[in-house]
Structure 1
Amino acid sequence: MKKMTSTEIRQMYLDFFKEKGHTIEPSASLLPVDDPTLLWINSGVATLKKYFDGSVVPENPRITNAQKSIRTNDIENVGKTARHHTLFEMLGNFSIGDYFKPEAINWAWELLTSEKWFAFDPEKLYVTVYPKDLEAKRIWLEEVKLPKNHLVEVEDNFWDIGQGPSGPDTEIFYDRGQSFNNLAEDDPENYPGGENERYLEVWNIVFSEFNHTPENTYEPLPHQNIDTGMGLERVVSIFQNAKTNFETDLFLPLIDATEKMSDNKKYDDNEQDDISFKVIADHVRAISFAIGDGALPSNEGRGYVIRRLIRRAVMHGQKLGIEGSFLTQLVPVVGNIMKDYYPEVLEQAEYISKIVRSEEERFNETLKDGLQLLNNLIETTKAENKSELSGAGVFKLYDTYGFPFELTKEYAEDEGLSVDQEGFNAEMQQQKERARAARGNAKSMGVQNGLLTDIKTVSEYVGYTHPDVNETEIVDLIVDNELVDTIKPGDNAQVIFSKTPFYAEMGGQVADKGTVKDTSGNVIAEVEDVQHAPNGQNLHAIKVLAPMEKNQLVSLEINQDFHKKVEKNHTATHLLDQALRDVLGEHTHQAGSLVEPTYLRFDFTNIGSVSEKQLEKVEKIVNDKIWAELAVETVETDIESAKNMGAIALFSEKYGKIVRVVKIGDYSIEFCGGTHVANTSEIGLFKIISESGVGAGVRRIEAVTSKEAFDFLNGRSTLLESVAQQVKANKVVEVPKKIEQLQASLKTSEQQIQAFEDKIASQQAGDVFKNKQEINGKTLIAAQVSVSGMSQLRQLADQWKTQGLSDVLAIGTTSDDGKVNLITAVSADGIKSGLKAGDLIKTIAPFVGGGGGGRPDLAQAGGKNPAGLGDAIKEATNWLENQTK
């Protein structure tokens, strides 16, 4: 068996079926398109349903793919078994009404056993078949020549999911030997297809030939199909002789990186630590791919799956002694492992890491206290000789610390305990009833701080109408998560005032900054950040400059310059949102935003990129609305009235009974709790500075307004002036014409260079073609030449063919960037005698680290090992000698 990397194995599989006439279908997004039956793409065939059900006819009925997939139905087993994964790759070949059993079986055997391909030892392969599938059994025994003692009949070998296509299947197993087994040699499950670790299933071929009818009968399908699946991870474990899938190059770099971040923990030292290493490596792969494809953490659907995976991995990180955010450091590792076939993860590593970091930090804030509570709960339960964690205790973990029920259950199971799920559900129902009765329109903060949750003091936000407050009372002082009566310089303090003009960060708008003054006008603190406390108060994070005490009267002033810039960008964001709807269609909607004083960022849903013309149109609309001097009005009303007004909800939020609606002339009307300018003319100018994709179906626009927009355009103007000088244009308006002239001049120069290179190649050909070898009655010209690349090699081959100089030609050249090009050719007489240019190129290309192919008369290849070119040319002589013996 060859020693290969996962990348090589995947590519060899695809290359094999490409040779058999299959089209390579790129791996689709993990997010199903127009398929409400699936939460995730969970198999190689899942993206091809449209072909199998006949709703779409493929251009080529033969398809092969390597499809990333996610399954989370048995997530609890990940890390505890050798081959359970959340994200995995399925290699498959499919026939849509084309070839059937003979080709599928024989090709599977060829790929697995041929020395050219996987080169498995046939003696180690076993096959299972459906007992009634006599045709498959015949093919295995008569055509493949599989020994009878390597064929096992299994009743379960029938693929059937209810009404629809169904049929028998045949599975191929690899015998790893008794040393890999978890069972005794005489165990009744110790056979191919049994529950054991010795015989590893590597391939399943489904013969879709029946239609399972509503009447529970099986009628022949008019078009028989082939659906196969080979799990890449488990096949790699065979090639790399790994104990489990995790000791392969798909996971070991992640495990190694996790080791370095752990508290001196080492993989393969003990079973419990190994589980944590495996869970982290598995989950970060799934997280990275899912977010990269456009899924985001949330409390429902696939978003909840991501959140659960992140939290589960974080908890296992804690078990390994890892403090703080660490999954973000593993995202680039995932990207580097998979970059050859899935470059998108590495390309989006920064974005993915940002999402993951946010989730990690949110969970890490309460994880330490939560784990302590969980450990105490476990110890108490054991001390009381009980085997079940109380529902009330588990609910407290969920409600206060954000622990998903499933995670607590898994943690308890590791300690040999169960969980009172009925008690948990009862506590959950009571909490919902309390929330409906008492919380009114208070917005949930999710994972909450216990101290802050208990603070009920009233704080009024007046910033919509007042930029400052002359007299307000300090009602709460918090230092290091404790209520105090006084604070001093150096304290890490948070303050709640009875009345405040400071906007708390919400809906993408950043918080206000400003100062706190005493009654004498002295600045005693700087407000650096403002967030919402659990009960709705604005919680001010301050830098303490002088002693302060509870009940003290102070005055508050926001930074007006900062505040007004944020207002301009927030109003511009509303205009941008509506302009995008106007240009792209109503299907687009906000997927996130950030409103800073110096720029705005707006994420929105859209299939495909946004063209330059569309962006120009969006930008023009926004500026037209700015210059139209539209009045910006704010209305407080009930939700139904707001909806009747046509207001659009910008965020996926829960709104109270009374909502704020921001109306910009007759152009835009949206739910919004942020601050805005009074008239669009205050924005001055709007300029889009970038548009990009941040995930499947999600685009991002960054823009600037007012002074920042002017500075941006002024910078572009300066840049254009510089370009004008470099191209020697008297005026900026002459730059395009000058560039056209330079391009024309460059094209002429390139043509002259090409002509010169052609002349050199022609002259060199005269010398090369003189060196002819005669081998067993056939002639060969084989040489290394100095030409510019493949184009020049083809010209030499054309001259060779026209002049009929030899039976076989093999020439190659290298370039300055380290690349190698090879061409082989065989004359008509040479082809008649059995010589093929394609066979020759496949023989010599490996010497230059490449591969290639072509027709019998002409073939070409590329490589990245210039040092091997001489050996490749010499090998052509050996090849011809062997062919003509």
Structure 2
Amino acid sequence: MSQGSSSAKEDTIGLDVHALNELQQVNVPPTDDSLKYNYTADDGGVYTFEQPTAKIIRIRYDKKFQESVQPGQECGLLLDRTSFYAEQGGQIFDEGFIVKEQSEDDEFKVKNVQVRGGYVLHVGTAEGVFTVGDTVKLYIDEPRRCAVMKNHTATHILNFALRDVLKETDQKGSLVAPDRLRFDFSAKGAMSVVDVKATEEIVNNMVKKNELVYAKETALAMAKSIQGLRAVFDEVYPDPVRVVSVGIPVEDLEADPTGSGGQVTTVEFCGGTHLKQSGHIGDFVITTEEAISKGVRRIIALTGSEAHKAVHKQELLQKSVNELTQKIEDNSQTQQFTEKELNKNIVALDDEVAQSGIAYWKRDSLRSELKALKKKMDDIDKARKAAVVSRVTEESKKMIEADPDKAYTVHVFDAGSNAKALDAAMKQYKALSPRTSAMFFSVDQEASKILCMSCVPKDAHPSGLNAKAWVDQVVPLIQGKGGGKELSAQATGTNTQALEEAVQVATDFAKLKLS
């Protein structure tokens, strides 16, 4: 939660200007929050956090400082010192518990931690009785803090990687949360998929190096002289300022500020909490790259277990794409699946890929593969339809050759729902047997569709036969709709079971009109 987005209830707890004045007037010292950096890690990335004791110096709710708080009350605890990280610099606040040393049954659930004027306020709900002066023990949510630290260290490396790939870019904002990181940066346009992948690879390569992460307070003027150091320069930094570097001790950068050190790794001003080694980040995945305003882009990325889930998901999706590709290849021989089924599988898998939180470049790659499969199916469909048109054309030619002077013909072609095939047959009769009245049917059982098309020569019209009237005889039977004129008409219906009856009705009607 950002400092500017507190709810109305939290506003009754937070430290406003009046509260700060009140604290300063009685010389309450700012909170010692240096304990937030007190933790160690082994080579396997297992972190151990200090669980210090502190003293409650103020309790706040109802817009006032109170002497005590009862169970169930939401309030803020101001301590003399803390290991909890207060939200600032883009890093989200810590959560956890504060337990009264005298009675461990009395707990305070920390939901938010904010800092104002150097005073760190722990906001949450009392699950016991707390009084000013109580000694308490502090327990941060360690897995959550570790996840945040992974994302924060990864944010620094991402900033470096973007500079390497884009050359000219500046940080415009960031959010470091337990489940993701968000990084805003200046750019002339959208990053290409190749650039996004290259950025991700640079970060993962720095992770694999598993270099030490160094942090040290440095004189502001000295820190600013380090070549390659990254900072949001419209922000006001303290003096001394904390410098965080991956792989190169800050002392070495101070000793040679104009050297190449700041060009080959990430060096930034930062008061946040970081990992001890870059390798503890684990997997790193960029899931999104998008515009948020003119000239500003946003990347959302994952680390640790969330990134591992994304990597596993993309492996499963790649397997599904491979299996579907093989299914389509095999189907050209076995005809086990219909084109409709395969196209449906492509669309469903494409939707799943599009909505998945996998790597940005991998999502693009998988969708390109699926697009190629869709084109292949479209080509197969075009070829099949062209073959049907060719076959029906040849069949109609042979019918004409067998009886060129026939007065009428009613025929069923094996053309499915291919209207072009029936139209091709009609054109053959108009060109090669212009005195024949023709009605053609075809059925697509899978789509529950029946097609009907008719043509009548001009000289057949005086006898009473016209194409529209002819089609109108079968429309009710096929439960369809039709249209056309005296010389040409067509209809479509859904009652494919009525084909035989429709052919008989059409034949009887033509025989009656042309007798």
The reply to whether TM is greater than 0.5 is: yes
Shift of 1:662: 0.5
Contact 2:92–2:176 (CA under 8 A) maintained in structure 1: yes
Residues 246-269 of structure 1: per-residue CA shift (max 9 Å, x gap): xxxxxxxxxxxxxxxxxxxxxxxx
Which of 675, 695, 698 does residue 293 from structure 2 map onto?
A: 695
Residue identity matched to 2:315: S
| 1:720 and 2:318 aligned | yes
Alignment map for 1:792-803 (pairs within 5 Å) = none
Contact 1:515–1:523 (CA under 8 A) maintained in structure 2: no
SS at match of 1:657: coil
SS at match of 1:676: coil
Contact 1:517–1:523 (CA under 8 A) maintained in structure 2: yes
- CA 484–747 in structure 1, closer or farther in 2 if over 3 Å, else same: same
Counterparts of 1:650 and 1:551, CA distance in 2: 40
Unaligned runs of 5+ in 2: 40-48, 249-264, 331-365, 390-417, 431-515
Contact 1:650–1:670 (CA under 8 A) maintained in structure 2: no
Q: What is aligned with 2:447?
A: none
SS at match of 2:36: coil
Structure of higher RCO (CA pairs closer than 8 Å, 6+ residues apart): 2
Q: What is aligned with 1:527?
A: 110
- CA 365–616 in structure 1, closer or farther in 2 if over 3 Å, else same: same
| 1:460 and 2:28 aligned | no
Q: What is aligned with 1:510?
A: 92
Contact 1:471–1:554 (CA under 8 A) maintained in structure 2: yes
SS at match of 2:152: helix
Shift of 1:661: 0.7
Counterparts of 1:739 and 1:689, CA distance in 2: 20
Counterparts of 2:234 and 2:426, CA distance in 1: 70
Residue identity matched to 2:381: S
Counterparts of 1:450 and 1:511, CA distance in 2: 24
Counterparts of 2:369 and 2:216, CA distance in 1: 54
Counterparts of 2:119 and 2:385, CA distance in 1: 73
Counterparts of 1:659 and 1:530, CA distance in 2: 22
Counterparts of 1:765 and 1:538, CA distance in 2: 86
Counterparts of 1:707 and 1:594, CA distance in 2: 18
Shift of 1:737: 9.2
Residue identity matched to 1:515: F
Shift of 1:685: 1.6
| 1:707 and 2:310 aligned | no
- CA 547–612 in structure 1, closer or farther in 2 if over 3 Å, else same: same
Which of 491, 494, 498 does residue 76 from structure 2 map onto?
A: 494
Which of 180, 195, 212 does residue 614 from structure 1 map onto?
A: 195
SS at match of 1:509: coil
Residue identity matched to 1:605: S
Alignment map for 1:421-500 (pairs within 5 Å) = 448-456=16-24, 457-458=28-29, 459-461=31-33, 462-465=35-38, 467-500=49-82
Which of 746, 768, 782 does residue 378 from structure 2 map onto?
A: 746
Contact 2:3–2:114 (CA under 8 A) maintained in structure 1: no
Counterparts of 2:369 and 2:150, CA distance in 1: 39
Q: What is aligned with 2:223?
A: 642
Residue identity matched to 1:624: N
SS at match of 1:499: coil
Shift of 1:515: 1.0
Shift of 1:767: 12
Alignment map for 1:15-34 (pairs within 5 Å) = none
Residue identity matched to 1:455: L
Q: TM-score, normalised by structure 1?
A: 0.35
Shift of 1:665: 1.7
Shift of 1:472: 1.1
Shift of 1:492: 2.0
Shift of 1:720: 2.8
SS at match of 1:463: helix
Q: Which has the larger radius of gyration?
A: 2
Task: Provide the alpha-carbon RMSD of the alignment.
Answer: 3.5
Residue identity matched to 1:543: T
| 1:554 and 2:136 aligned | yes
Contact 1:507–1:651 (CA under 8 A) maintained in structure 2: no
Shift of 1:448: 4.4
Counterparts of 1:488 and 1:512, CA distance in 2: 23
Counterparts of 1:450 and 1:766, CA distance in 2: 94
SS at match of 1:627: helix
User: How many equivalent pairs are there?
Assistant: 330
Residue identity matched to 1:524: E
SS at match of 1:581: helix
Counterparts of 2:132 and 2:311, CA distance in 1: 50
Unaligned runs of 5+ in 1: 1-353, 370-444, 769-885
| 1:674 and 2:257 aligned | no
SS at match of 1:649: coil
Counterparts of 2:54 and 2:374, CA distance in 1: 68
Contact 2:38–2:50 (CA under 8 A) maintained in structure 1: no
Counterparts of 2:82 and 2:247, CA distance in 1: 29
SS at match of 1:583: helix
Contact 2:287–2:300 (CA under 8 A) maintained in structure 1: yes
Counterparts of 2:130 and 2:382, CA distance in 1: 76
Q: What is aligned with 2:174?
A: 593
Counterparts of 1:649 and 1:740, CA distance in 2: 44
Contact 1:573–1:602 (CA under 8 A) maintained in structure 2: yes
Contact 1:692–1:701 (CA under 8 A) maintained in structure 2: yes
Shift of 1:498: 0.3
Counterparts of 1:637 and 1:738, CA distance in 2: 53
Counterparts of 2:285 and 2:226, CA distance in 1: 30
Shift of 1:518: 1.6
